[in-house]
Amino acid sequence: MSTDYLQQIQAQFSHITADGEDDMEWWNEGLDLMNQGDLDKAEERFKMLVVSQPDNYDGYEGLALVYTKMNRPEQALYFSDLAVEKATQLHGQGYIDQAVLDQVQQTRNSIENK
């Protein structure tokens, strides 16, 4: 996995502008779709979230969770690592608290140990 994969996602959703979309519900929609077993649509929502909010951890973590359910561990770990990286940056900037960062790191550890 590499930045090439992120570029593919950006190209797939080129109609979405970073930080310019009404994406408040995409996280919840993605979780709902994942819980309903519609992993392809959940993946799409989280990809859209990654493109619209590239500096936030949510979309990356969502993709990590979907790829875990799809039994695609390499992709799950890649996106989980990105989620931790983004969450760490947000924590350092004071946008999220330690409990949120701990949760993102915990999710990453559980994915790694599957």
Residue type, 97: D
Using the CB atoms, write b or e for 32-64: b if 16+ within 10 Å. Answer: ebbeeeeeebbbbbbbbbbbbbbebbbbbbbbb
Write down the pLDDT at residue 107. 95
**74-109 residue pLDDT tens:** 999 999 999 999 999 999 999 999 999 999 999 999
- Give 106: exposed, middle or buried? Use CB within 10 Å, 0-12, 13-18, 19+: exposed
- What CATH number has the domain spanning 3-112? 1.25.40.10
- pTM for this model (two decimals): 0.91
Domain boundaries, the chain: 3-112
